[in-house]
Amino acid sequence: MYLRLGLALSIVASWACSPSTGKARAPDWRRVPVTLELRLARGAPAPGLVPAPVYGQARTVYLYPEAVLGNSDIARAEAIQTRIGRGLILQVWPTRAGAARMKEVTGRHVGDSLAVLIDSVVVSVPIIQQAMGGDPKLPSDIGVPLEPEEAQQLAAAVSKTWPHR
């Protein structure tokens, strides 16, 4: 529970405190299927890292080429509107293999950044506070800072990508 709340709060806090540029062209959040990736990231360039702008912010992060978690590692995902009216929380249930990899990687990278990519767009970059995942029966909450209309569009696309069972 603390892992989910901590990740969601750190993402919402980093979004709320970040300036919006308004210059980036908005992705089509209605696109189905939704692709979701978690990748380790740094704030400065390094060999082998790929630069990527952070959506809605005037900053660039540098992504590691390998995803920690991707669509093939996700058994189920649901989108929940936030209480503050902006953005949404993606609840992600990983597969058994995805949960094990996420726990192992985040455990080795406490204090590092973890980029959240939706449809190849970096939407947030929280700091890893502690190892996450490990239990495929429990979801990880991922905060996605979007305007209300974008959040509704993405929520609908997520429900089509991972239908409720």
User: For the chain, what is the domain count?
Assistant: 1
The dihedral through the CA atoms of 95, 100, 105, 107 has a sign that is positive
Q: Is the pLDDT of residue 21 over 80?
A: no
Mean pLDDT score across all residues of the chain: 85
pLDDT band at 165 (very low <50, low <70, confident <90, very high): low
The pTM for the full model equals 0.83
Domain assignment present for 29? no
Domain assignment present for 25? no
Please tell me the predicted confidence (pLDDT) of residue 5: 41
pLDDT band at 25 (very low <50, low <70, confident <90, very high): low
Domain assignment present for 27? no
Domain assignment present for 26? no
Q: Is the pLDDT of residue 16 over 60?
A: no
**Domain containing residue 134:** 2-19+35-161
Alpha-carbon gap, residue 100 to 146, rounded angstroms = 29
Render pLDDT for 68-93 as a digit per residue (tens, 0 to 9). Answer: 999 999 999 999 988 777 789 999 99
Domain assignment present for 10? yes
Domain assignment present for 50? yes
pLDDT above 90 covers what percent of the chain?
65
- What 3-state class would DSSP assign to 15? helix
Q: What is the CATH number of the domain that holds 48?
A: 3.30.1360.200
Q: Is the pLDDT of residue 100 over 90?
A: yes
Contact 70, 120 (CB under 8 A): no
Render pLDDT for 133-164 as a digit per residue (tens, 0 to 9). Answer: 888 899 989 889 988 899 999 999 999 999 87
Domain assignment present for 111? yes
Domain assignment present for 49? yes
